[in-house]
Amino acid sequence: MKVQMNQRRLVNIFVVAAGLVLLVMAAADAMQLVKAGAFNNQTEAYLDFWHEQQKKQPDEFQLKPRNYAIALQGAEQALAALPDSPEQWVLKARVEDWGRQYGLLQAGDENHGESAEENPLLDTWHHAIALRPAWPYAWSDYAMARAQFSLIDPEFEAALFRANQLGPWEERVLENNALLGMHYHDWLSQPLQATLQDSLQRLTERYPYKAVGIARRYGRAGELCPWLSNPERVRECL
């Protein structure tokens, strides 16, 4: 009888201990989430502010190195708290893209190599894609990032093909396709040109004003007329 009671007591102790371990782990995870959330709020505030200021003063706005460093540090600290979160890698990529625009993006190695492949922005996108390979936005934005460094290569094309497979009707994917397809048309393979042409038709049918606005930048608005059903919109593309 005493043996059975001792065994039950041991089982209860093990159950309580296991529960405490799980509770501690859950508390630790919750603390990491809280910590990451605090850093994210700070970083998002900087990104929103920069966007608004750039929109108000497109020619005068300059990104201050100190503010960029703070925002990037916040993104990195949030990433340290949640290293397996693709959203955190995307947030860091968004900050680094601002650094790229204003010449503040640093090379990733100690020797500050000039190769675009050593650029931390591309490396950040690699991590985001690896953690969520079925995310069309990441593939599309990664292709856009490669284009910013004039890397119109097989990896660029593969990223666009993948984005189209995963999110053929996603608005940002369609917009990026239109921009990249028109800007780099003569550099692209024929299969990709055909894929982006189909994407442009989808953008025109679903978001006609955006499609016409993009096409006008490249003097190609007239190509969209066959895909526009509203007569007023047809007049806009002529």
Question: Model confidence over 175-207: pLDDT tens digits?
Answer: 999 999 999 999 999 999 999 999 999 999 999
Contacts of 27 (CB under 8 A, 6+ apart): none
Q: Is 137 within a domain? A: no
Q: Is 233 within a domain? A: yes
Pick from 132, 164, 185: which residue ends a domain?
Answer: 132
Q: Domain check: are 100 and 157 in the same one?
A: no
What average pLDDT does the segment 203-219 reach? 94
Give the HSE-up count for residue 56: Cα atoms under 13 Å, Cβ half-sphere. Answer: 8
Domain interval for residue 198:
151-238
The 3-state secondary structure of 69-102, one letter per residue:
HHHHHHHHHHHHHCCCCHHHHHHHHHHHHHHHHC
Q: Domain check: are 96 and 16 in the same one?
A: yes
Q: Domain check: are 107 and 184 in the same one?
A: no
Q: Read off the pLDDT of residues 89-142 as tens digits, 9 standing for 90 and up.
A: 999 999 999 999 999 987 644 333 445 457 899 999 999 999 999 999 999 999
Q: How far is CA 183 from CA 178, 191, 224, in A?
A: 8, 16, 16
Q: Domain check: are 106 and 15 in the same one?
A: yes
Q: Is 211 within a domain? A: yes
Give the HSE-up count for residue 101: Cα atoms under 13 Å, Cβ half-sphere. Answer: 16
Q: Is 207 within a domain? A: yes
Q: Read off the pLDDT of residues 8-38 as tens digits, 9 standing for 90 and up.
A: 665 556 555 444 444 444 444 445 444 456 6
Residue with tokens 């679903």: 206
